[in-house]
Structure formats: structure tokens, C-alpha cells
Copies of this chain bind each other. A is one copy, B any other.
Amino acid sequence: MGKRDNKTGLVADWKSLEKVFIRPENDSGKQTLIKYMEQILFGLHDFLNTHVGVTEEISLKELTDDFRETRINQDPEKKLAQVITDIIDEIAPKAVNVASPYFVGHMTSAVPFFMVHLKTITAALNQNVIKLETSKVLSVIEKQVLAKVHRLIYGKDKGFYEEHVQHVESSLGAFTAGGTTANLTALRVARNTLFKPRNGFDGVEKHGMAAALKEYGADRVVVLVSRRAHFSIEKAWGILGAGSSNVIPVDVDEQHRVNIKKLNSMIKEIQKDGKTIIAAVVGIAGTTETGSVDPLKEMGEICRKHSIHFHVDAAWGGPVLLSDRYAHLLDGIAEADSVTIDCHKQFYMPMTSGMVFFRDPWAMDTVAYYSNYVNRRGSVDIGIKTLEGSREANSLILDSALKIMGARGYALMIDHGIDTAQKFASEIEKRQLFELAVPPRLNIVTYRIVPERLQKELENSDPGHRKRINEIVSGINKNVQRKQRERGKSFVSRTRLRIHQQDRQASVVLRTVVMNPMTDIHILKEILDEQEGIFKELCCD
């Protein structure tokens, strides 16, 4: 099996095995374990602090050169101390410093340091919340935390939560591996509720999509969602056997929010053909690319009227509900039949944890599975209705974080992100070289570099010429983004958006996510300065 020979002199024997399983009783042994933690916390800490830029400049070729060995060594290669040292010295500098306030390109950021402690606790307890027998109180905490966030979203009355918070058989939601499996769970519930058992047909989960469409007299079943949707919606529909091409994009307005008129006319048209069923309409609270929030209230009303499942993907925006100042931006979210929120995004938890919620505490009954050895009928095992099987107790981290931060602590971060995004948008509008793509609604800002000469050409051109100019501008922005990333001082990302209604094609824009509370307007100005500098170099070289 191609294992390698011993070169280190380390051997695997029963004595060393016992050592790693039986924690030390004596002080010196304990001190060693603590010393390792110190190394981890402050070795990495030094990297995170001194390494101001986001990553070392290094080519993919160079990066992979040291990671080509594919044999597993027979004997131990390193002790823990050496592993930690190597990670600090060799790995961390080649990782991405997502904690840097100059890292504003993606929805990954610094986490409060206590999150690392909480993750350590979860690992040390190593509970498996698939079933009560391997989690006990952690299953109970999971149900409680889900009820807390459910209440934040839906605000049902006290009696509702008293009934369901620890109800053995109902489910207010579930923790998931992330936003993708949360969306997948929501759409699976929508699919299974739509094609539920009737007249000897046992339902789509049991008999499959082909049998379900036959039973319900349809050719296909579709989901309607904004053109700005995360690709996990399409992926989920593809996984569910309904076909990713049956996710129908709805046009958006200039704010990149679902166009309600279009949505209405699409529903009307689809319902006319008689052979297509709409399984769900998905609204987005915080699109990945622009941070836009769909008109949730109107969408909810439309869905109610037509009895269509309304899912809200609030993977990004959900925690905005904790802010008294900005919760109103998500008005209408309580109309949703299901809601996705990610913990590793604006709940600032370490990778990865998602959640999905259902207005109806019995909705998840449509996705239940039982077995003889766990998840028996009538048991309180949470794993009965989750898509994932074994799962760590991430609820303990969220529960603790809510206690340490309070709603107000989270609100400070939410408010800072939105306020700073506004300031950043103003700054962009002030600068000659830049064009704001979408006025920010939450804390995501999209913009692009458009040199003055090309700006003028764009203003006075026919569509064909505009297209050519936009392609040149796209090339410029792509190059500046790449160059900035390679320099490793700061990082913004890029995507493609249709910025002007008169253009048919999408153009490259720069994308900034303001979630790190240490990212302030001064840092964002520096980032613009750097982009101006790079642009000048590129255009004059």
C-alpha cells in the first residue's frame, strides 16, 4: 500500500497510544498540554497580527510543490509539538489571513476569540447530536437555541414557544452543515409537502419524482428565484431530482431585488400551461453578490395567495434581525414557510454551521427516517429529521455566543457593517476613477473602475459599442482585482453583474463585504488607493 519507511526514530507503541488517550494527571504533563494551546493561540495570533496582508504571494505551482507525497507513513513522523510548530511556521503563512481587516472579499472574516474556546469545548465533549444517547443535554440545548432564533424570525406567541421549545415530536428547525444543506432541507420539505402521500401513493420521498409527477398530473415542478440567487438553490433542485434547469430566474430591479410585477406575470403564465407546478418561490435576504434584500412581504403575500411554499434564504442577512436599527430591512421574513440562516456568517461562528427554520413545527415530518438502532419511532432523537447524520453540538457555541454578546453586541457589528458600507459607497461616488454598481442595502458594496475616457464613451454610445467598451472595462477590473490579490496586502473579490438596465450583458465588478468590525472607512480608503495605484501601473506599463 505504499507506506513509507521510518526516518524519524518515532515508533507507534501501546505506551504512546495510552499517553494520548489518558490525559495527564501530573502537573508537568498538564503544563505540556497548556503550552501547546499557548503556542496555538499566540503562534497563530502573531501570524494574524504581523502578517498585515492577507496572504503570502506565491504561485499555485510553488504552493503545491511541497504537497505531492501520497504515501501514509508507517511510523509516526512528528510529535504534536512539531506539528503545531510546522503549522505556525509553514502552513499559516501560506493560508489566507481571513481575520485581517483588509480581507473584505468574501463572507469569511475574523471571529471573536472566544469562539475558538467554544469550538475547543465542543471538540472536547465530542457529543453526537444525531441521538439523545450520545448527546443528552446537548440535544435539549439545540432545541432551545433553535426556538430562540425561530422566535426572532417569526415572533409567535409565548404559548407557541412553551409548547414547542422542548416538544419531543415537533421541530422548529434544524442545525445543518451549512447554508447549502439548509436550503436543500427547505426545498426537500417543500417538495415532499407538495407531493405528499395520497390515495395509495406514499409520497415523493418514497416513490421518487417520476411517480410523483405522474400521480399529480404534471410534467415538471419548478422553483422561482431571483437572478441573484446563490448557486446552492439550483444545486439543491438538481440534487432533489427535480432538475437544476427547473429553477427559473426572476428578473430583478435596479436594486437587484426581485421584480414583483415579473414574478406575478411568471406565476400566471406557468399556471396557465397546466403541466407545470410551482414548488416554491425563494426570496433572498442578503444576496451573495450585492447584499440585496428581496421584497419579502410582497413575495410572501403572493405565495400565500397561490398556496406556494415561500422559502427565504437569509444565510447572510438573518442576524440583521438582532439590530433594532436595521431589522426592518427584513420585513416580511415572518411570512416565510422556511428560512435559512448561517452561523459561520453573521453569527461570527467558526466554519461551518447552518440552520433552517420552519413556520410549521410539523413540516419536517415529511423528511423523517427511522432505524432500529437509533432514531427509533417515538424517540427524541434529533437525527430523525435532519439531512445530515452524525453532527457536532454547534448549538452550544451559538447559545454561548448569544449569552456573551447579547443581541446588542451582535447589533453593534451589524450596524457597523451597514453604516461603513454606506460611507464606503459615498467615498466611491466621490472618486473620479470609480463607479458604484449597486447602492448597498446591507453591508456588501459592488463597484468598478471606469477610466474617465471610457466613461464618456459609454455615455454616448450605441449598444454594440457599449458592449465593446464594457468588455474592456471588465478586463481592467479583472486585472486590478487579480494584481491586488497577488500582492497580498488586501483582498476584494469580483463577480459579474448587469449594472445598467440598457446593457444586456453583465460586467465585471469589484465586491467588498464589510463584516469585520475592525474594517473601518480608513482601511477601505486605503484599499481604493491601492486599486488606483495598480490601475495606473497597469495602464501605463
- A3 to B124 Cα, complex, angstroms: 31
Known: A388-B180, A409-B76. A120 touches B40 (CB 8 A): yes
CB nearest to A139 among chain B residues? B63
Contact bitstring A117-160, B, C-beta under 8 A = 1, else 0? 11111111111100111111110110110011111100100100
Instruction: Check if B155 sits within 8 Å of A1, measured CB to CB.
Output: yes
Instruction: Check if B112 sits within 8 Å of A127, measured CB to CB.
Output: no
Residues of B within 8 A of A246 (CB): 207-208
Q: Is A281 an interface residue (CB 8 A)?
A: no
Instruction: Check if B151 sits within 8 Å of A71, measured CB to CB.
Output: yes
Contact bitstring A478-499, B, C-beta under 8 A = 1, else 0? 0000000100000101111000
Q: Is A331 an interface residue (CB 8 A)?
A: no
Instruction: Check if A243 sits within 8 Å of B80, measured CB to CB.
Output: no
Partner of A20, one of B3, B34, B105, B113: B113
CB nearest to A114 among chain B residues? B80
Q: Is A55 an interface residue (CB 8 A)?
A: yes
Residues of B within 8 A of A374 (CB): 106, 493
Q: Is A400 an interface residue (CB 8 A)?
A: yes
- A136 to B58 Cα, complex, angstroms: 10
Instruction: Check if A125 sits within 8 Å of B95, measured CB to CB.
Output: yes
Instruction: Check if A133 sits within 8 Å of B493, measured CB to CB.
Output: yes
A38 to chain B, nearest CB (A): 5
Q: Is A239 an interface residue (CB 8 A)?
A: yes
Known: A151-B1, A208-B209. A351 touches B392 (CB 8 A): yes
Secondary structure at the A interface, as helix, strand, loop or mixed, is helix
A285 to chain B, nearest CB (A): 16
Q: Is A242 an interface residue (CB 8 A)?
A: yes
User: In this complex, which of A138, A210, A371 has the most chain B Cβ atoms within 10 angstroms of its Cβ?
Assistant: A210
- A138 to B98 Cα, complex, angstroms: 13
Known: A12-B409, A207-B245, A350-B392. A80 touches B141 (CB 8 A): no
Q: Is A402 an interface residue (CB 8 A)?
A: yes
In chain A between 376 and 423, which residues have their CB closer than 8 angstroms to a CB of chain B?
380, 387-393, 396, 400, 402-409, 411-413
In chain A between 197 and 241, which residues have their CB closer than 8 angstroms to a CB of chain B?
202, 204-211, 213-214, 219-221, 230-232, 234-235, 238-241
CB nearest to A234 among chain B residues? B369
Known: A123-B115, A144-B69, A389-B179. A83 touches B404 (CB 8 A): yes
Instruction: Check if A14 sits within 8 Å of B412, measured CB to CB.
Output: yes
Partner of A148, one of B70, B238, B240: B70
Partner of A21, one of B150, B152, B517: B517
Contact bitstring A253-292, B, C-beta under 8 A = 1, else 0? 0000000000000000000000000000000000011000
A101 to chain B, nearest CB (A): 9
Instruction: Check if A210 sits within 8 Å of B207, measured CB to CB.
Output: no
Q: Is A523 an interface residue (CB 8 A)?
A: no
Instruction: Check if B120 sits within 8 Å of A68, measured CB to CB.
Output: no
Known: A135-B96, A389-B232. A147 touches B70 (CB 8 A): yes
Instruction: Check if A113 sits within 8 Å of B23, measured CB to CB.
Output: yes
Q: Is A308 an interface residue (CB 8 A)?
A: no
Instruction: Check if A373 sits within 8 Å of B494, measured CB to CB.
Output: yes
A130 to chain B, nearest CB (A): 9
User: In this complex, which of A75, A352, A389 has the most chain B Cβ atoms within 10 angstroms of its Cβ?
Assistant: A389
Instruction: Check if B12 sits within 8 Å of A352, measured CB to CB.
Output: no
CB nearest to A205 among chain B residues? B238
Q: Is A321 an interface residue (CB 8 A)?
A: yes
Residues of B within 8 A of A462 (CB): none
Q: Is A469 an interface residue (CB 8 A)?
A: no
Residues of B within 8 A of A455 (CB): none
Partner of A119, one of B105, B119, B131, B403: B119
Instruction: Check if B30 sits within 8 Å of A42, measured CB to CB.
Output: yes
Q: Is A458 an interface residue (CB 8 A)?
A: no
From A43-51, A296-304, A432-440, A526-534, give the one contacting chain B.
A43-51
Partner of A98, one of B122, B126, B148: B126
Instruction: Check if A412 sits within 8 Å of B37, measured CB to CB.
Output: no
Q: Is A170 an interface residue (CB 8 A)?
A: no
Q: Is A344 an interface residue (CB 8 A)?
A: yes
Q: Is A502 an interface residue (CB 8 A)?
A: no
Contact bitstring A169-207, B, C-beta under 8 A = 1, else 0? 000000001111100100010010000000000101111
Known: A45-B23, A112-B21. A128 touches B98 (CB 8 A): yes
User: What are 7 A-B interface contacts by the 8 Å CB criterion?
Assistant: A22-B518, A68-B165, A70-B151, A83-B403, A177-B391, A181-B387, A208-B241
Task: Identify the 6 closest CB pairs spanning chains A and B, nearest first.
Answer: A241-B241, A208-B243, A177-B177, A351-B392, A12-B409, A94-B137
